[in-house]
Amino acid sequence: MFSQLYSFIPQMLDKIEDSIYVMKADDLTLTYYYVNRAASQISGITMGAFGKTFFDVNPPAMADYLHKKYTRVLIERKTIRYEHGITLPNGVTSGESILTPIFGENGRIEFVFSVTRDITERKAQENMLHYYAYHDDLTGLHNRRYLLEKVGSPAAVFLFDLDFFKNINDTFGHAAGDSVLMEVALRLQARFDSGFMIVRLGGDEFIVASMDTDGVSWAANVAEAMLKVFQLPFEVNGRQMKLSCSIGVALRGNGNGNGNGNGNGEDIQTLLKQADIALYRAKGAGRKRYHVYEDSSTYEHVEKFVHEIALSNAIANGELELQYQLIYSPLLQKVTAAEALLRWNRPQLGVVAPNEFIPVAEETGLIIPIGYWVIRKACQDWHRLKTMYGPHFKISVNISRVQLCEDGFVDQIIRILESEQLSPHAMELEITESTAIQNVVMVQYTLNRLREVGFSIALDDFGTGYSSLSMLSVLPIDKLKIDRSFIQDMNASLVQAMLDMARALHLQVIAEGVEEVHQFQLLKELGCWGVQGYYISRPTEFSKLPLEMVVE
């Protein structure tokens, strides 16, 4: 029975897909004892090699490699695993091998049993996965992952996308868009065939990168060549169509202003960020052009984004404050109100001008929480200001179009005043004409609700819009604030006409931007109810406001 089993073992081993080699050991001499069919197919060694050494059967380099490999098992007297992926002397990539010593009764190693797994298919699969991991499916170009993981720090990055490419997808379908992208890839490969790396980042964004650069002039020439790639029309659904691109360029070391690529070696992420900023500038300048990033340049959209991030934490970090500019009535000869002006003190940067951060706050919606903070803080300060200027003193707060259009704005502002124990009669809300014309019907409804509970409404910057007169008949307002531009020119006849019109509509008038004595005197003579400007007081924190004021 055992003899039958023994004779059947070679037949079983021949059916195994793994390569099996059995070497007979005589001290440190190894000779072939058994080779299965899989091993013969891969190595070409058959049972005809029985009793022969590695050096009798294999080329010298291969024989030496195998001898060292198997001899190690004899010396260390233990099973040894050899990892796959080694390039053998015959040029073949090795599979994973396990060499096991077979001991006799006397403790000597009589055989070395080797099993080697063929990894040809697995290697092909791994190579395929590796290819798709680092290449774009559509164009066959390298992809973003390859750029970030394998490229390191190129000397120059040219980032571009197709102008109005979305229109092609929307009009002709994504299949047509894909054909355009493939044509773009082919044109880039034909033009930048050496010294450059071409990458598709995704969508219609491509990168042309170079490990060398010769400064800004060189980069300009490369960018011009990229623009020329689009000179010939593209075929889209059987139609000839002219396309263009916009390009953002980033050069290593160009952030230092020298433009020669000899800087400290910005990493790829930094260069991509700079190229993206430059691309935004190129698009903003009209597209079909390029822009080279310079650290010394000011990029407004970047500043806006930086402000947005910082603004989101400004309230919590205590960076916002209110300053007040007094409003003086020549008729009453006293201070009647103060306008609350928002200021933002950024750490390490100082005071940020309102015209720099207010638009950002409005665009991002941050003006909502900031606006409520302003209202609450103004309420808190009013309790101290009224002790200085009397119980009828009003505090004036600017309301943006975003706040005015927010659901629940009226209810929220009333709740704030109630919690701060302030009557709506003590607060004046200022809106601009541009705010009102966004949605006249809704603004009209909101302002009526505010007036019903006691707020007074002022129309700020009057005279600068296109529909100021029509706004007066539509909006429920109590005061007009004449824009400073009219006061600076000081056309007495025009100002008098404004005052007469306001009186006819039963509106009080405040003149803004009063900076000189003759302006004040003329406004006083014309019977202007209130004046505001540097001649009266500069914006300042409430603790530094004067206790009493008589203006001559």
Instruction: Quick: pLDDT tens for 126-161.
Output: 778 888 889 999 999 999 899 888 887 899 999 999
pLDDT at residue 274 greater than cutoff 70: yes
pLDDT at residue 358 greater than cutoff 90: no
Q: What is the pLDDT of residue 263?
A: 40
Amino acid at 18: D
How far apart, in Å, do the first and last CA atoms of the chain sit? 129
Q: What is the pLDDT of residue 258?
A: 40
Q: What is the mean pLDDT of residues 515-541?
A: 94
Contact 261, 156 (CB under 8 A): yes
Contact 429, 450 (CB under 8 A): yes
Q: What is the mean pLDDT of residues 368-396?
A: 94
Res. 302 pLDDT band, cuts 50 70 90: low
| Nearest Cα residue to 327 out of 425, 400, 428 | 428
pLDDT at residue 4 greater than cutoff 50: no
To which H or E segment does residue 382 belong? helix 367-389
Specify which residues 34 forms β-bridges with: 22
Q: What is the mean pLDDT of residues 355-363?
A: 83
CATH number for the domain formed by residue range(s) 308-544: 3.20.20.450
Report the C-alpha gap between 367 and 373 in whole angstroms: 10
8-state DSSP, 543: G
Report the C-alpha gap between 344 and 360 in whole angstroms: 13
pLDDT at residue 1 greater than cutoff 50: no
Tell how far CA 408 is from the center of its chain. 32
Report the C-alpha gap between 22 and 55 in whole angstroms: 16
pLDDT at residue 2 greater than cutoff 50: no
Res. 10 pLDDT band, cuts 50 70 90: confident
Fold match between domain 2-122 and domain 135-297: no
Of 94-108, 120-134, 165-179, 196-210, the poorest mean pLDDT is in 120-134
pLDDT at residue 296 greater than cutoff 60: no
Q: What is the mean pLDDT of residues 458-476?
A: 76
CA dihedral 438, 444, 446, 451 (to 10 degrees): 140
- Global pTM reads 0.55
Res. 261 pLDDT band, cuts 50 70 90: very low
Q: What is the pLDDT of residue 159?
A: 92
| Nearest Cα residue to 219 out of 290, 137, 131 | 290
pLDDT at residue 93 greater than cutoff 70: no
Q: What is the pLDDT of residue 416?
A: 97
Average pLDDT, the chain: 86
To which H or E segment does residue 240 belong? strand 239-241
Q: What is the pLDDT of residue 85?
A: 61
Q: What is the mean pLDDT of residues 247-270?
A: 64
Length of the chain: 552
The angle formed by the CA atoms of residues 135, 196 and 128, to the nearest 5 degrees, is 20
Instruction: Quick: pLDDT tens for 33-81.
Output: 999 998 888 888 999 999 999 999 999 988 999 999 999 999 999 999 9
Report the C-alpha gap between 110 and 133 in whole angstroms: 47
pLDDT at residue 426 greater than cutoff 70: yes
Q: What is the mean pLDDT of residues 78-99?
A: 76
Q: What is the mean pLDDT of residues 196-217?
A: 89
Res. 170 pLDDT band, cuts 50 70 90: confident
Characterize 168-195 residue by residue with b for buried, 16 or more Cβ atoms within 10 angstroms of its Cβ, and e for exposed.
Answer: bbeebeeebbebbbebbbebbeeebeee
pLDDT at residue 533 greater than cutoff 80: yes
- As given in the structure block, the two tokens for residue 159 are 């980032």
**Where do the structural domains in the chain lie, given as residue ranges?**
2-122, 135-297, 308-544
Report the C-alpha gap between 18 and 2 in whole angstroms: 25
Of 276-280, 463-467, 501-505, the poorest mean pLDDT is in 463-467
Q: What is the pLDDT of residue 264?
A: 42
Q: What is the mean pLDDT of residues 307-311?
A: 71
Amino acid at 278: A
pLDDT at residue 463 greater than cutoff 80: no
Q: What is the pLDDT of residue 89?
A: 64
Q: What is the mean pLDDT of residues 234-262?
A: 75
**How buried is residue 111: exposed, middle or buried, by Cβ count under 10 Å (0-12/13-18/19+)?**
middle
Instruction: Quick: pLDDT tens for 186-204.
Output: 999 999 988 899 999 989 9
Instruction: Quick: pLDDT tens for 473-500.
Output: 788 999 999 999 899 888 889 999 999 9
Q: Which CATH number fits domain 135-297: 3.30.750.24, 3.40.50.1820, 3.40.630.30, 3.30.70.270?
A: 3.30.70.270
CATH class of the 2-122 domain in this structure: alpha beta
Q: What is the pLDDT of residue 5?
A: 40
The angle formed by the CA atoms of residues 544, 545 and 547, to the nearest 5 degrees, is 120
